[in-house]
Structure 1
Amino acid sequence: MNEARIIEGCRRKGLVLGLGLGLSLSLAAGCSDEGSGGESTSGPGIDLSAGSTRGSDGQGDDLDVLDGSESSEGLDATFRCNNVDFVFVVDNSPSMLDEQQFLVQGVPGFISAMQNAIPNLESFRVGVIDTDSYPGLGTLEAPLDGCDPEAVDDCEACDYTLGAFLTKPQSAIDPEITCDFSTGQSYMDGTSETFANEFGCAAVVGAVGNPIEQQAGALVAAVSSDLLEPGACNEGFVRDDALLVFLVISDEEDNHASPPEPGGSLGEPKEWYEAIVAAKGGHDANVVGLGLLGGSPKFDDCADLSQGVDGAEQSSRLVDFVERFPTHFVGSVCSDGYGGFFQEALDRVATGCANFIP
């Protein structure tokens, strides 16, 4: 790494930390871009050189990237969003327990830091989904205790709906126990005093889900009109005046060619991207895409998943999907803790808020 890059890396982190963040994260040491455990081919940071960027198909919204000369004083004047809707897509396949714990440890501090970094935020909604349409204990052929296999309708319908927000521990391991969100809704309030406990309840989704994940399909379903309409599982979650942020955390690829049925998500990365953008009125500037994935090419710290639960698959389709959004960041799901990732993610969310189209 040359001297100019080192200086730029220090300047970037100095600006981020200069926003007065109360991070309770284990932030990555050092000022360089190396060691962050992530990649971002086009995701703008809050202090990158002035200019514009577009979606990877060249047809996205024109984005203004904040000028590097901006100081932390008055930086909030550039922010155009007052609300954030954040969807966490958490892989609940058998190899994901450690990653779920890292997520639970890092997210509350990340949310707190975001509120400090973007002081005009008024509302912060958080929803958690897993990557299949089954409850935590298995498939429709082996439903939850207390549910009649011949009458699945006796179970709460949202327990069996792909993309429905999770309101019970370990993806409904016990239908009688709930996470008791303070909102009274299927999503959480990131500003609530009980948020850390609520997120810890919902985000540890367990590791007995379908091993053929539908990461993108679950996200597309979560923000679809079918699940957002009155009376539906995620009623009213996505707001026109809110920045939509999603984070997909998975150690496997979303591959619709993989057996057994139903396989992975229907469609291709471009179609997934278009569905998310449609949910935001056609503005990809109003979406921030984040991923903790195996990478494409695979991150150096990810062993082959077949060698144990600490590895990951190369995730070319998921990386393609996330990187279609003008503001994005992809980090390694194999990292030993996600503090460095969340520092980068905070930068991207601030940029997304600065580029928000009301």
Structure 2
Amino acid sequence: DDDDDDDDDDDDDDDDDDDDDDAPKFDIGEPHTAGEPLDECDKVDFLFVIDNSESMEDDQQRLIAAFPEFMEGIQETLAATDYHIGVVTTDEHIWDWPNDQNGVDPECAEYGSLVRTNYRWATGQVEDCGPWVDGGRYLTEQDPNLAEEFACAAYVDDEGSTNEAPFLAIEGALATQPSPCNDGFLRDDALLVVVLITDEDDDVEPGGNPGSGGTPQIWYDMMVEAKGGDPNAVAFLALAGTVDCSYEHTVRIEELVGLFDDNGFMGPVCEDNYAEFFREAIPVVDDACDELVE
């Protein structure tokens, strides 16, 4: 019987190996060792994860309106002067089937690919938001019309899938899978700031919408792993359904924010103006940046 148990253990080990093979491979380069401070926090990678389902057009406009003041506050407050700013949606562009008419790159029509094309489904109008100074699918502080160009990328329309899966999008944005769509965005020596804007929780819904799958702890671990296992290298900001909103309370997202402790911050997506949220988020980002060099 002991031999049988040993065989079972071997089988379990094999299964674990298979699971490891299936795990996402994150594009983390050669990250600094977890807990090892950087010489300085001079770089920040901002990933905006924007719900593009049918209820989100007004929320996108509020985000766009608040962005210039947020970035001005970041530049005035943080020691960091080098920024990457990327946008992803909560679906895989299933409404933007790649073709010659809508301008969507076939290689980039998947979860987590950074947005550079502004495509209006209702009119068929296409606007290429780039080219951007760094040559990639993300903005930097060097782009001369940063607010206007962010507005182009962040107005992701409201014709996206009702199966919102923001954490699949985050996983894709931080992993090697969308490459070359996201080449150069994530840097191992930068603070990662994920900003999620959604009015719905990421969970299994009636009717078969599975969301991202996983749990808040799994999502937290995924983001930290993408930064070399250093929890100090990630900040998570969420505009979502708080108890103050009349619609869905996004309890799983709220739980995730709590896992980030001082590096997490959440506000109500139902507010008419997001300026106050982003003003209060600036010290969170600043403290997270300081923590990397202490």
**Matching residue of 1:322:** 257
1:132 to 86, 91, 97: 91
CA contact (8 A) 1:212 1:259 kept: no
Letter in 1 for 2:191: L
Gaps of 5+ in 1: 1-60, 65-78, 148-153, 305-312
Secondary structure class of the residue paired with 2:117: coil
* CA drift at 1:243: 0.3
SS of the equivalent of 1:163 reads coil
Q: 1:322 to 1:112 in 2, by over 3 A?
A: same
Mapped contact 1:111–1:190 kept (Cα < 8 A): no
Aligned equivalents of 2:270 and 2:162: distance in 1?
A: 18
Letter in 2 for 1:133: E
Deviations 1:19-45 (A, max 9, x none): xxxxxxxxxxxxxxxxxxxxxxxxxxx
> Structure 2 unaligned runs (5+)?
1-33
Q: Show the 5 A alignment for 1:195-274.
A: 195-227=146-178, 229=179, 232-261=180-209, 263-274=210-221
Partner AA of 1:224 in structure 2: A
Deviations 1:268-290 (A, max 9, x none): 11111111101100001111110
The counterpart of 2:237, out of the listed 279, 286, 290, is 290
Equivalent residues of 1:182, 1:194 under 8 A apart: no
Amino acid in structure 2 at the alignment position of 1:269: P
Q: Distance in 1 between matches of 2:182 and 2:292?
A: 23
Matches within 5 A, 1:67-86: 80-86=40-46
Structure 1 CA distance for aligned equivalents of residues 149 and 281 of structure 2: 21
The aligned residue for residue 128 of structure 2 is 178
2:285 pairs with 1:336: no
1:157 aligned to which of 102, 106, 113: 106
Q: Which amino acid aligns with 2:117?
A: K
In structure 1, C-alpha distance between the alignment counterparts of 2:99 and 2:273, rounded to whole Å: 32
Q: Tell me the alpha carbon deviations over residues 91-149 of structure 1, each in whole angstroms, 9 at most, x when there is no partner.
A: 0011111110110011122112111111x3231000000100025xx275xx66737xx
Aligned partner of residue 218 in structure 2, secondary structure? helix
Once residues 150 and 70 of structure 2 are traced to their aligned partners in structure 1, the CA distance between those partners, rounded to angstroms, is: 12
Residue aligned with 1:355, SS: helix
1:100 is matched with 60
Instruction: Give the match's secondary structure for 1:205.
Output: coil
The structure with the greater share of residues assigned to helix is: 2
Amino acid at match of 1:241: D
Cα pair 2:118 2:126 within 8 Å, conserved: no
Whether the aligned pair in 1 keeps the contact of 2:35 and 2:230 (CA below 8 Å) is: no
Q: Which residue of 1 aligns with 2:246?
A: 303
CA 197–158 in structure 1, closer or farther in 2 if over 3 Å, else same: farther
The answer on whether the counterparts of 1:128 and 1:187 sit within 8 Å (CA) in structure 2 is yes
Equivalences, count: 258
The 4+ residue runs of structure 1 with deviation greater than 6 A are 61-64
> Partners of 1:270 and 1:87 in 2: how far apart?
20
Which residue of the other structure, out of 174, 186, 189, is the alignment partner of 2:140? 189
| Equivalent residue letter for 2:246 | A
Residue 68 of structure 1 is matched in structure 2 by none
Judge conservation of contact 1:251–1:293 (CA < 8 Å) in 2.
yes
Aligned residue in 2 for 1:146: 101
Instruction: Tell me if the contact between 1:80 and 1:355 (Cα under 8 Å) persists in the aligned partners.
Output: no
CA distance in 2: counterparts of 1:345 and 1:191, whole angstroms: 23
Code of the residue aligned with 1:303 in structure 2: it is S
TM-score by length of 2: 0.80
1:346 to 282, 285, 294: 282
Give the whole-Å Cα distance in 1 for the aligned partners of 2:93 and 2:154.
Answer: 16
Alpha-carbon RMSD: 2.7
Q: 2:171, 2:83 → 1: CA distance?
A: 20
Query: Does the CA contact (< 8 Å) of 1:168 and 1:175 recur in 2?
Result: no
CA–CA distance in 2 between the matches of 1:264 and 1:219? 13
Q: Please tell me whether the aligned partners of residues 132 and 213 of structure 1 are also in contact (alpha carbons under 8 angstroms).
A: yes
- Structure 2 residue matching 1:340: 3-state secondary structure: helix
Contact (CA 8 Å) 1:145, 1:174: kept in 2 or not?
Answer: no
Map of 1:75 onto structure 2 = none
